[in-house]
């Protein structure tokens, strides 16, 4: 019972905020445009500040873990390969790009950081997990969406240059880089600055989760039900079952293991839908997987965390 309560205490508050967002939209206090603006604000300001504040005050040598970063990178590469192989099951080649992206691309920043913060009070190993996976998410998303679409696009220099620019200017990556640089230079964090950063960063989790809930539309999950359910199963259960034992075998525990769990088993990020639409896809499959994984991850993440807690690993 103690392990179950630990798991519920870690996950339920996160998803209650999403339910609040859904309720606020239902009564008309939040609309799609407002939810999009909140999401954009959280992505550009509070979330980078969360990562900056967690890294700026720690010892750089202690914060950096090359083995952990390489593990996250390698698992992401393998996950993309598996997703691509499974996508061959669908005769409709135009949905393969969206399917591949939906299978591997986690909501590592918003939902992941909220999840880890709720357990440990800070972002834990999330920044290093993001370094190991998120840049690769973006590069491979451009690749698969270009190769598999209604009209296959050419990966010319302009597309690759835009992708690289998007990674370098990604607010999340910038927040991590600034925090690591601040820590490496051993710069002091003045109290006034610390309090200001903490106050703004504190809005990231509640605002982001409320906006995510307000964007939820379960009807979209059933428009392409078979590939949507398959992608959701792979995202929430398949990769966790495959790679969590490997992570345990590698010796990862506590914050490291929870960050890996988030990378593997959190909901598919809303960004996958945005990118699919911007690259000429209809976005129906992406939207469906986002909806399904967001709904079901409340149960699957609780279950995986319960298993890890029962084994004394977190």
Mind listing the pLDDT tens digit for each residue in 28-41?
Answer: 898 888 888 887 88
CATH number at residue 141: 1.20.1530.20
pLDDT of residue 51: 75
**Cα first-last separation, the chain:** 16
Mind listing the pLDDT tens digit for each residue in 232-291?
Answer: 999 999 999 999 999 999 888 888 888 899 889 888 887 777 677 767 777 778 878 887
Residues 6+ apart with CB under 8 A from 54: 122, 123, 127, 179
Residues in the chain: 314
Q: Following CA atoms 139, 140, 141, 146 in sequence, which dihedral angle do they give, to the nearest 10 degrees?
A: 100
Segments forming the whole domain that contains residue 138: 2-310
Q: How many domains does the chain have?
A: 1
Taking 50 as the pLDDT cut, the residues of the chain under it are none
Would you tell me the crossing angle of helices 171-184 and 126-147 to the nearest 10 degrees? 150
């Amino acid at each position: 019972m103690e392990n179950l309560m630990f798991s519920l205490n870690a996950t339920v508050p996160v998803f209650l905020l999403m339910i609040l967002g859904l309720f606020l939209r239902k009564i008309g206090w939040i609309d799609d445009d407002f939810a999009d603006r909140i999401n954009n604000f959280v992505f550009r300001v509070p979330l980078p500040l969360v990562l900056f504040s967690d890294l700026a005050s720690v010892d750089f040598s202690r914060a950096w873990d090359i083995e952990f970063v390489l593990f996250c990178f390698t698992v992401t590469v393998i996950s993309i390969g598996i997703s691509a192989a499974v996508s061959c099951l669908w005769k409709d080649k135009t949905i393969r790009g969206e399917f591949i992206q939906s299978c591997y691309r986690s909501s590592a920043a918003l939902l992941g950081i909220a999840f880890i913060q709720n357990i440990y009070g800070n972002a834990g190993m999330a920044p290093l997990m993001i370094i190991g996976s998120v840049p690769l998410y973006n590069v491979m998303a451009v690749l698969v969406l270009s190769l598999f679409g209604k009209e296959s696009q050419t990966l010319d220099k302009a597309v690759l240059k835009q992708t690289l620019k998007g990674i370098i200017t990604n607010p999340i990556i910038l927040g991590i880089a600034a925090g690591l640089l601040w820590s490496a230079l051993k710069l002091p964090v003045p109290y006034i600055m610390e309090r200001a950063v903490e106050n703004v960063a504190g809005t990231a989790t509640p605002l982001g989760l409320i906006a995510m809930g307000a964007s939820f539309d379960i009807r979209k999950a059933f428009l392409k039900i078979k590939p949507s359910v398959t992608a959701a199963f792979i995202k929430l259960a398949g990769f966790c079952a495959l790679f969590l034992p490997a992570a345990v075998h590698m010796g990862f525990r506590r914050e490291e293991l929870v960050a890996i769990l988030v990378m593997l088993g959190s909901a598919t990020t809303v960004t996958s839908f945005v990118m699919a639409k911007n690259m000429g896809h209809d976005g129906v499959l992406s939207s469906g997987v986002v909806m399904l994984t967001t709904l079901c991850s409340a149960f699957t993440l609780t279950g995986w965390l319960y298993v890890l807690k029962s084994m004394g690993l977190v």
